[in-house]
Structure 1
Amino acid sequence: MRLRKLLAASLTLVSVFVFTQPVSADAIRDREYWIKDYGFNNAWKITKGAGVRVAVIDTGIDATHPDLVGAVAGGTDVSGLGNQNGTQPIGDISYHGTMVASLLAGRGHGSASSSNFSNGVIGTAPQAELLSVSMAFGEANLNTDDQVAKGIRWAVDNGAQVINLSLTRNSSDWPQSWDEAFLYAFEHDVVVVAAAGNRASGTDQVGAPATIPGVLVVAGVDRNAKASNQASTNGLTIAVSAPATDLVSAYPGADYKIWSGTSGAAPIVSGLVALVRSQFPNLDASNVINRIIQTATPQTAEDFSPVYGFGLIDPVKALTAEVRPVQENPLGSLADWIRLYRKSDAGADSATNTDDPSEIGQISAPITQSQVKDSEGFDTTQIVPIGVYVIFGILVVRSVARALRRRK
């Protein structure tokens, strides 16, 4: 079989996530170590992300969860299985979207007279608005690549300024439908944030969409701010690092669970992007990204590391530091990549070079810590050699490193 199987199709709930016992609501806030450790609590003295819309393209958000009431401003379903507002969790791992959303824009809950709810999950941008785009994983008759592309276009057309993608194809290449969708987002000044992937789920190197030039790719660290051996991966396209282990999140049905993975690190950073966009409404997407990577704290002697990217996020610096403006996205140009490497393939889709049309364009389940590697879990139909991505990544790294040295 030339295209790998969907990992989610053969996994049960337990094999997808490592959960602790359910956590009571009054113990949640103290478990969100990243709020104080990374200074989000101080960043909120400046902004909480009001006025910014963030699209979560995932398995749907349970908008009735106490910590997400009022957070979802709209949505849609691109699978044909959910409700029209995208707020019906769907698929084998239906809870994933709710967990991601709560880390990004959870409101918490408590006294109605309180302006700062003290119980439950609070996201890194607790006043940002969410757009819930529900898609299905593990459905043999659904083209998941097409769902992602359709979801991106809908999100852009409905006012998203940030798009969170906590998912991976587990291969470096992507279909041409993604060329068009991601270009559409970039041309409309949208910041796209993607998870780097996890070794525990069979991702040894970053996979698409984390290989797409211009995407803000997030790697994961543990509670000690060290690269996680299981809940992250390496790659030249990694931009920044954020917490990815022992993450407490809202779970459908007014519940809570603890999990690990860059699926959780990505929305933490998407929340930071929302804070920056709220504080600097006139900054374009390229300069929002530049501000986040320029203010990150390097974790190695070099300005860049394929493990940490440009370093650990620093929310307060991202909102207060003086950062020299840029004219283009420091993480690369998808338009340039297409001109250089797509060549003339007569409109063929990179994910459709297969003799079995039923297996066209499938991607793996959203990234989680404990996913089991599938023996057929890698796409062998690459449209360009992996060396192309390596070369492109090196060029991007060198250009940003030069910019960092200039600011010093």
Structure 2
Amino acid sequence: MTIGIIDSGLTTSNPEFSGRISSASADVAGSRGLTNADDLHGEMVALVAAGARDGTGVMGMAFNATIAAYRADTPGSCLSTNGCSFADSAIATGINNAIAAGAKVINISLGGSSPNAAVISAVGRAASAGVVIVVSAGNDGGAQVDDFAAALRAAGNGNVIIAGSVGTSNVISSFANRAGTESAWYLAALGEQICCEYANGVIKVTSSGGSNYYTVYNGTSFSAPQIAGAVALLRQAFPNLSAAQAVQLLLTTATDAGTSGEDTTYGKGVLNIAAAFTAQGSTSIGSSQMAMGDTSVVTSPAMGDAISAASLPTVMMDSYARAFNVNLASGMRAAQIMPRLTMALTARQESLSLAQGRVSLAFTVDANGRNQGNPWRGALRLSREDADASRVLAARMIAQLSARTRMGLAYSMGADGLVASLQGQDRPAFMIAANPLEDAGFARHGQTAFALRQDLGARWGGLWGLTLSAERADGQIGAPWRTTGMPDPMQRSDAVYRFGAAADGHWGAWDAALGLSWMAEQRGVLGARLNPVFGAQGADSWFADASVGWRPMGDLRIGAGWRQGYTAIHAGTMLQSGSHLWSNGWVVDAALANALKPGDTFSIRVSQPLRVAAGGANLWLPLAYDYDTQTTTWGTQRLNLRPHGREIATELAWHLPLWGGSANANLFWRHNPGHYATLPVDRGWSVGWKYGF
């Protein structure tokens, strides 16, 4: 950027300006050259605006900018005790020359009475040419800005900023003219103790009384070039900005000072260049709005620590059509790991069951007793709402429809467990090590399930059966979802439907089952949730299950199972076809009844919960923006959802009758809990005793 500076000249030999003084620079009030031996005001202004970033001395705000300097002081006037004077004709010429030199911002650290028509016309031409003008408010300590500044603002068609001064604590300087009636265009910046005067190309040091001193300056003259430099930086970084937009950005992103909001002292507030460089207004990716602070992805437990090293760079646009490089990985959240042992031990539950003829019922209810003692009113029913209100944690009904047909219904229980019950599978119970054949990779609640089993009788040397099942649930998001800094409850659940068929067979000491199922998620991707900006439309998953059991002796059973999953992610606006996941889980367990005493059971299980083994999402994202052509370059970014860790859970369990009740002891060990490679081993033990009344 080129910054036009209309002032008293500058020292051309100063290394802070080396190679960056425009050849268009000139003395517009005479033929003396730019260097002014009688006054350093213009040089100080230029240092504040554009001093070099060279590791020494002063660094200006726009340290790489080109300086178009126009010396406008009246010849001989700087020798006066009142300081330099400036003719309106020279100021007008300087403005016109700066426009011709291609300046995007012009600094005028001058003041006084209202200018003549030539200056007003020059300011109007600058506004038409898309040039910002920054002018000092004046140093009279008055309630209104200088008439000169007010007149330039009135002629500038929204392209003029009036610069006030504050100290390091953002308190208005005693000498600075206040905003007054120009508060909408008044912006303060540091104007006290501005460093430093130069001599022979280095900062001037004065020695006196054994001490060294720097010469510093005060005044709104030195606030203005900071604002002018900020304009240059903005228009360099974002060349699409108009002059009016650059002005608006600096005024609206100012740090508030004094009375809340715009006021007659501080105007819009204090310059905050960092805030001006942040996205303003609504932001978007492509044509879809998304705030930079919004959650981009929440993964599921099956994905573990997959996003721990993820990178998903893209380009977002703000309301000024400015492009920002953003890494969406900063808005990703991994599924939270729940404390399994604590939940298992602190839950107060009661199990109720009864059987009569061909029907059996089982309920598990919350035993906290919130509604105990209240009289019952209304009809007995088990809708989802009534079950939730009554704290029914799970319910199951199995009915024998005919000699070979059984039906099962369940609430808050998945179809997998219901199918296992109808098949008569003998699975040991564990507190921590879950069975992946009952795991979809994410938490579900409010499940309702139906299963129908047909006994096929003796075939191929064994007894066979076929079970059909259906399930409806709400998939639960694995971590809090944030939208513009606030939780969004609408993102917490997702309708999930699942349908399956399973065949089972029994041959003496052996039993086996094979199952296939299809799961449809309304918005989720194996439990993960993607921001709607990607056009996510859910996913379809297919699971193939295989299990086998062997009873080598009456009291000993050994079993194993494997679940293989494939998830196809539905293509959307930014989700490309071909996005898919492969997942699997396995279990090996054994149970020995009457191990140490009659009626007890000793069990061991080693399992891997469902885990994404390969795959991810292909996202079509903007990667770059060209301001010259105003076009966006798009490309594919891969979000790998395979975790680095792999949970292996091992648990020993001992159940036995004791003192008229039942006792249990459990010992567990989890490697990489939750599929997090960096988490320490989760291990523990528990003992418990229950007595029913």
TM-score of the superposed pair, with normalisation by structure 1: 0.59
The structure carrying a bigger helix percent of its residues is 1
What secondary structure is seen at the aligned counterpart in 2 of 1:322? coil
Q: Report the equivalent of 2:357.
A: none
Q: Report the equivalent of 1:361.
A: none
- Work out whether 1:225 is the aligned partner of 2:176: no
CA contact (8 A) 2:3 2:104 kept: yes
Q: Report the equivalent of 2:242.
A: 284
Q: Report the equivalent of 2:161.
A: 216
Q: Report the equivalent of 2:28.
A: 78
- Which residue of the other structure, out of 111, 115, 118, is the alignment partner of 1:174? 115
Q: Report the equivalent of 1:305.
A: 263
Q: Report the equivalent of 1:29.
A: none
Residues in 1 aligned to 2:20 and 2:145: alpha-carbon distance in whole angstroms: 31
- Which residue of the other structure, out of 252, 260, 282, is the alignment partner of 2:218? 260
Residues in 2 aligned to 1:143 and 1:95: alpha-carbon distance in whole angstroms: 15
Residues in 2 aligned to 1:135 and 1:252: alpha-carbon distance in whole angstroms: 22
CA contact (8 A) 1:59 1:96 kept: yes
| Identical columns (%) | 30
1:245: how far off? Answer: 0.3
- Which residue of the other structure, out of 191, 199, 215, is the alignment partner of 2:132? 191
Residues in 2 aligned to 1:269 and 1:323: alpha-carbon distance in whole angstroms: 22
**1:157-185 deviation per Cα after TM superposition (whole angstroms, max 9, x unaligned):** 1111100000002x3x3211122110110
CA RMSD of aligned residues (A): 2.3
Larger radius of gyration: 2
- Work out whether 1:207 is the aligned partner of 2:146: yes
Q: Report the equivalent of 2:63.
A: 126
1:186: how far off? Answer: 0.4
- Which residue of the other structure, out of 190, 193, 196, is the alignment partner of 1:246? 193
1:127: how far off? Answer: 0.9
Where do 4+ consecutive residues of structure 1 move more than 6 Å?
Answer: none
CA contact (8 A) 2:137 2:176 kept: no
CA contact (8 A) 2:5 2:69 kept: yes
Q: Report the equivalent of 2:228.
A: 270
TM-score of the superposed pair, with normalisation by structure 2: 0.36
What secondary structure is seen at the aligned counterpart in 2 of 1:219? strand
**1:331-373 deviation per Cα after TM superposition (whole angstroms, max 9, x unaligned):** xxxxxxxxxxxxxxxxxxxxxxxxxxxxxxxxxxxxxxxxxxx
Alpha carbons of structure 1 residues 125 and 143: separation in structure 2 relative to 1, 3 Å: closer
CA contact (8 A) 1:63 1:70 kept: no
Residues in 1 aligned to 2:147 and 2:97: alpha-carbon distance in whole angstroms: 20
Residues in 1 aligned to 2:30 and 2:115: alpha-carbon distance in whole angstroms: 23
Letter in 2 for 1:97: G
1:62: how far off? Answer: 1.0
Q: Report the equivalent of 2:275.
A: 317
Residues in 1 aligned to 2:273 and 2:179: alpha-carbon distance in whole angstroms: 23
Q: Report the equivalent of 2:487.
A: none
Residues in 2 aligned to 1:209 and 1:323: alpha-carbon distance in whole angstroms: 34
The number of aligned residues is 258
In structure 2, runs of 5+ residues without a counterpart are 78-84, 205-214, 283-318, 321-693
Alpha carbons of structure 1 residues 292 and 260: separation in structure 2 relative to 1, 3 Å: same
Stretch deviating more after TM superposition (156-165 or 249-258): 249-258
Residues in 2 aligned to 1:105 and 1:245: alpha-carbon distance in whole angstroms: 18
Q: How does 1:144-163 map to 2 (within 5 A)?
A: 144-163=87-106
What secondary structure is seen at the aligned counterpart in 1 of 2:88? helix
Q: Report the equivalent of 1:164.
A: 107
CA contact (8 A) 2:258 2:265 kept: no
**1:4-54 deviation per Cα after TM superposition (whole angstroms, max 9, x unaligned):** xxxxxxxxxxxxxxxxxxxxxxxxxxxxxxxxxxxxxxxxxxxxxxxx100
1:56: how far off? Answer: 0.6
Letter in 2 for 1:105: A
1:323: how far off? Answer: 4.2
The structure carrying a bigger strand percent of its residues is 2
Higher relative contact order (CA 8 A, sep 6+): 1
1:122: how far off? Answer: 0.2
In structure 1, runs of 5+ residues without a counterpart are 1-51, 109-116, 327-408
- Which residue of the other structure, out of 88, 110, 124, is the alignment partner of 2:35? 88
Alpha carbons of structure 1 residues 319 and 186: separation in structure 2 relative to 1, 3 Å: same
CA contact (8 A) 2:74 2:86 kept: no
What secondary structure is seen at the aligned counterpart in 1 of 2:170? coil
- Work out whether 1:60 is the aligned partner of 2:20: no
Q: Report the equivalent of 1:101.
A: 46
